[in-house]
Every structure is written in C-alpha cells, then in structure tokens.
Amino acid sequence: MERRFERNLEDLKTALAKMGSVAEESLGVALKALLSGDQVLAQRVFEMEEKINRLEIEIDTAIIDLLALNQPVAGDLRFIIATQKINNDLERIGDHAVNIAESVLTLQTLPGVSIPPEIHQMVEIARTMLKQALDSFILLDTSLARTVLRTDDQIDDLNRLMAQQVITQVKNNVLTIEGGLELIRISRNLERIADLSTNIAEDVIFETEARVVKHHAERNDTN
C-alpha cells in the first residue's frame, strides 16, 4: 500500500523542480539581456518574477500543511526543511535576476559602458552553479553539490577584482561613476546568485547526508 504522505512528498519535489526551472529560466533571460543589451528580454524577466513569487507562496503553503498534518521525522523532515530553504533561495535568485534586468535598462542610458570580460566569466560561473545546484537537488547528488561549494570562491575573487578595476578606471577617468556603480551592482548580483546556489547545494547535502556544511563547517569536521 503506497503511503499518501509519500505521494505528497513527491508532489512537493515536483513543485520545487518547477520553481527551480522557472528561476533558472528567468536568470538565463536576464543574463542574455545583459550580454546583448536587449531591453525586450529584460522586460520579460519582470513578468517571470511574478510567476516565481506565486510559486514560492504555493510551495510555502504546501510545506506548512505537510508539517502540520504529517509530523514528518528523519529524512522526510530534512527533505521538507531543505525544500523550504531552497524555495526561498530560488525566490531570491529571481529577485537578483530582476536587479540585473534593471541594470540592463540603466546601461542603455549610459553610453560607453561595455561589459568587461570578468562579468562574462561571472555570468558563466553563476549560471553553471545554479544549474548544478538544482541538478544535485533533483538527483540527490552530493558530489555535484560539493562541486558547487568549491566553485563559489572563483566568483568571490572575480567580484573583488571587478571592484578594484572599477575603482582604477573611475580614478583614471576611463569610466564614469554612474557606469562604475552599475558594473559593481551587476557583479554583486552575480556574486549573490552564486552564493544562493551554494546555499541550495548545502541544503542538498543536509537533506541527503544529515550533515551541516554551512560556514565551512565541513572543513572543521574531523570525523
């Protein structure tokens, strides 16, 4: 006899997978708009955000019902808690995609600002990290999740590098302050997306292995 609760958990996973794909698509559109300067694409990100917000609330409601009505424990409990956190992380990623789309529109008013190669690199890394984090959730693949954790340092380094370059270019009058601020804003949003992808990967490891790997806890774990 199949348990109804197990079907509910399957449904929750499906709902989160859908949320993930919408967030990923929204980010993809925002990044394409960023690299091409396409304002129409940027507008689409705003529309997608509404869908993401709606899904977030649906999933949150389903989680509250599951917790209240089934009193889950052990792996079931970890799955539901991880799902709730990932759900919120994906919604945040949707917000950052919106921020990037807003930057695309702002850049149109700032002629002469081009997207530097570091941002191109960050775009690739952030996109890959989110994809791998979502795949690790679907497949419960903790080695893929750990790949995500290791990649985060690269994007942090690039973010710092971007800030330094902007400062230098503004000082040398190669870049306006407005243009510089916008580039820093984009860089920061990409760094945040990578960070949230890291959170997702950490929650996958928590769900699967019952281990806390946040804040580099795993490095200090001697067991």
Partner 1 sequence: MSEKNIRLSAKDLNVYYGAKHALKNVTIDLETNHVTALIGPSGCGKSTFLRSLNRMNDLIDNIRIEGEVNLDGQNIYDRMVDVVELRKRVGMIFQKSNPFPKSIYENVAYGPKINGVREKKQLDEIVERSLRQAALWDEIKDDLNRSAMAISGGQQQRLCIARAIAVDPEVLLMDEPASALDPIATAKIEELIYTLKKSYTIVIVTHNMQQAARVSDTTAFFYLGELIEVGDTKIIFTAPGRKQTEDYVTGRFG
Of 64 and 210, which CB lies nearer to partner 1 in the complex structure?
Answer: 64
Candidate list 3, 215, 216, 219; residue touching partner 1; CB under 8 A: 3
Q: Does 216 bind partner 1 (CB under 8 A)?
A: no
Q: Does 70 bind partner 1 (CB under 8 A)?
A: yes
Q: Does 69 bind partner 1 (CB under 8 A)?
A: yes
Q: Does 68 bind partner 1 (CB under 8 A)?
A: yes
Binding window for partner 1 (CB under 8 A); candidates: 27-35, 67-75, 132-140, 185-193: 67-75
Taking the complex as a whole, the smallest distance from the CB of residue 77 to partner 1 amounts, in Å, to 14
Taking the complex as a whole, the smallest distance from the CB of residue 113 to partner 1 amounts, in Å, to 50
Binding window for partner 1 (CB under 8 A); candidates: 1-9, 27-35, 46-54, 126-134: 1-9
Pairs from 127-132 (Cβ < 8 Å, separation ≥ 24): 127/27, 127/28, 127/31, 129/155, 129/193, 129/194, 129/197, 129/198, 130/23, 130/24, 130/27, 130/93, 130/193, 130/197, 130/200, 131/24, 132/197, 132/201
Residue 118 in contact with residue 161, Cβ under 8 Å? yes
Taking the complex as a whole, the smallest distance from the CB of residue 122 to partner 1 amounts, in Å, to 41
Of 118, 115, 82, 95, nearest to 193 (Cα)?
95
Of 77 and 181, which CB lies nearer to partner 1 in the complex structure?
Answer: 77
Residue 203 in contact with residue 82, Cβ under 8 Å? yes
Taking the complex as a whole, the smallest distance from the CB of residue 108 to partner 1 amounts, in Å, to 46
Q: Does 57 bind partner 1 (CB under 8 A)?
A: no
Q: Does 1 bind partner 1 (CB under 8 A)?
A: yes
Of 65 and 124, which CB lies nearer to partner 1 in the complex structure?
Answer: 65
Helices (H), the chain: 4-36, 39-70, 74-108, 117-139, 142-171, 177-209, 217-220
Q: Residue 109: which residues within 8 A CB-CB, separation 6 or more?
A: none
Q: Does 65 bind partner 1 (CB under 8 A)?
A: yes
Which residues contribute to the site for partner 1 (CB under 8 A)? 1-5, 64-65, 68-71
